[in-house]
Amino acid sequence: MDTYLNDWVAAILAFLPNLLVAVLIFLGSLYLAKLLSGLLRKVLQQRRADAEVTLLLTQLTRWSIIVVGIITALQRFFDVTAFLAGLGILGFTVGFAMQDIMQNFVAGIILLIQQPFNVGDAIDVADYGGTVLAINLRTTEMRTWDGRIVIIPNADVLANAIINYTRAERRRVELSVGIGYGSDPEATRQAVLQAVTSIPGYLADPAPKVVFHTFGESSIDLTVYFWVDTTKTDVFSAKDAALTHIKAALDKQGVDIPYPIRTIYMQKG
């Protein structure tokens, strides 16, 4: 009995230093994780990084340090290598089964870091156009132009071209017009160029252009190109204003905007 008790006491005494060191390593990792994640948060905030990106990177930093601390602490009691190898095999199996979820998760991290768009931006992506409502780690939520709510997997977002309208502070507007064959093209050109200058948000640079390009069935077709400041107007409003201004200018100049003409031959009996 005394021998068993002595062995038990000796085992405890031998175990206590490892336990103390393991506890100190774990507590040290907690402190280091809090310190470094706090420093990283301050740096990102000073650089005005997106709040979601800041939260993501600080949490990844914090938990990575804690996990390393736990593994190092456990190493004091047993060989963690075999345990990690088993976890690796299990992780590979689970990852293979959940590859679509993991793909969307990784794509979400890339989107949050690269920031091709932010919440509230107007974008086109994956055959959908609208306003971004939320950017999550797995999906991006949008309200389309016609009011539908669309939730797109982040992998699909990242795999497709992204058009960000909000970041384009200047946009070119195109509007097609047809004039009668009896109208003076040069006078029409000057009237149209003058008309677009009164559109809200109009930009003189780049200069507007009027390009005659087609002899139509009943008209000479032209396209007017002009630029607007999207912080003052949107493309739809600019096109609407352009149409009304150009129509008024052409009417004032007496320029005809013809209807399509069809000639019908009637054969008797």
Q: How do residues 223-234 score in pLDDT, each as one tens digit?
A: 999 999 988 988
CA 189, chain centre distance (Å): 39
Please check whether residues 143 and 202 belong to one and the same domain. no
Q: Find the domain containing 38 and state its range.
A: 2-97
Backbone angles phi, psi at 149, to 5 degrees: -100, 120
CATH of the domain at 84: 1.10.287.1260
Return the exposure string of 37-76: e unless at least 16 CB atoms fall within 10 Å of the residue's CB, then b. Answer: beebbeebeeeebeebbbebbbeebbeebbeebbebbbeb
Residue 233: give its domain's CATH number: 3.30.70.100
Strand-pair partners of 152: 140
Q: How confident is the model at residue 38 (pLDDT cuts 50, 70, 90)?
A: confident
User: Is residue 264 domain-resident?
Assistant: no
Of 164, 192, 222, the last residue of a domain is 164
Residue 37 lies in a domain: yes
Q: State how many domains the chain has.
A: 3
Q: Is the pTM of this model over 0.95?
A: no
Q: Are residues 130 and 159 in the same domain?
A: yes
226 and 241 both lie in a single domain: yes
Terminal alpha carbon distance of the chain: 130
Helices (H), the chain: 2-46, 51-74, 80-97, 99-114, 154-159, 185-196, 235-253
Cis check for the bond before 206: say yes or no (omega within 30 of 0): yes
Residue 268 in tokens: 């008797």
Among the residue ranges 52-56, 90-94, 212-216, the one predicted with the least confidence is 90-94
The span from the CA of 36 to the CA of 123, in Å, is 36
Indicate whether 206 and 226 sit together in one domain: yes
Residues 158, 183, single domain; the answer is no
